[in-house]
């Protein structure tokens, strides 16, 4: 159970976002809190979000709107992560082709240099070209081996949050023993 204790449901949202209520972006602190709390658990572990509000603010429509707003926000974040992943893989393919051509040209020049008499300068250029050619391959290799994992992980967390059940409670969980994480927004004066 991930718990959020709010004095008003508006604390959950970015006050500068002019979008309609159910399309507003979440407050950056609330978004980060939910993301980090979900990230602490294995993705397969079922989690729920419990939002505590004053009883004067709770009604059936607000509960529906809050659930929809959280779902919309993290669906959008998931979409952004998918776009970022697609761009990264596209850039990786482009970089790979460029690096492969560059490596081929370096190896071709090394082969041409080997036709000349062996000398220190010849060896220096040959070894330098070989190193530069393989260094050019580093970025695409990094993208395909390691670069995409963090984006996929972020996308999977957003996906999990989109499908989590959201409950609205009244009062304050501080009176009872908390079962999970708790978020209390920072006070701004």
Q: What is the pLDDT of residues 2-45, one digit of tens each?
A: 787 777 777 677 665 555 555 567 778 888 888 888 988 888 88
Q: Which domain holds residue 104?
A: 1-6+36-168
How far apart CA 183 and CA 52 sit, in angstroms, is 10
* Straight-line distance from the first to the last Cα atom of the chain, in angstroms, rounded to the nearest whole number: 30
The answer to whether residue 27 is domain-embedded is: no
Q: Domains in the chain: how many in total?
A: 1
Cβ atoms of residues 14 and 24 within 8 Å: yes
Residue 179 lies in a domain: no
Rounded CA-CA distance 4/172 in Å is 10
pLDDT tens across 66-114, in order? 888 888 888 999 999 999 999 999 999 999 999 999 999 999 998 888 8
Task: Classify residue 94 as exposed, middle or buried by CB count within 10 Å of its CB (0-12, 13-18, 19+).
Answer: exposed
Phi first, then psi, for residue 56 (nearest 5°) are: -70, -20
Q: Count Cβ atoms below 10 Å from residue 119 Cβ, excluding itself.
A: 10
**Residues of the chain above pLDDT 90, percent:** 35
> Coil, strand, or helix at residue 169?
strand
Residue 13 lies in a domain: no
For residue 183, tell me if it sits in a domain: no
What does the pLDDT read at residue 187? 46
């Amino acid at each position: 159970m991930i718990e959020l204790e709010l004095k008003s449901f508006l604390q959950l949202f970015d006050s500068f976002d002019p979008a309609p209520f159910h399309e507003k972006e979440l407050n950056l602190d609330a978004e980060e809190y939910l993301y980090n709390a979900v990230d602490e658990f294995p993705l397969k572990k079922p989690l729920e979000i419990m939002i505590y509000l004053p009883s004067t603010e709770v009604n059936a429509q607000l509960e529906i709107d809050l659930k929809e707003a959280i779902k919309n926000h993290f669906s959008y974040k998931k979409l952004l992560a998918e776009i970022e992943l697609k761009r990264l893989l596209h850039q990786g393919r482009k970089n790979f082709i460029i690096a492969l051509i560059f490596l081929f040209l370096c190896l071709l020049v090394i082969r041409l240099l080997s036709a000349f008499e062996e000398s220190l300068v010849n060896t220096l250029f040959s070894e330098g070209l070989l190193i530069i050619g393989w260094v050019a391959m580093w970025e695409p290799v990094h993208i395909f081996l390691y670069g995409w994992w963090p984006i996929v992980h972020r996308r999977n967390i957003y996906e999990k949050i989109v499908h989590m059940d959201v409950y609205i409670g009244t009062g304050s969980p501080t009176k009872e023993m908390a079962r999970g994480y708790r978020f209390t927004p920072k006070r701004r004066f």
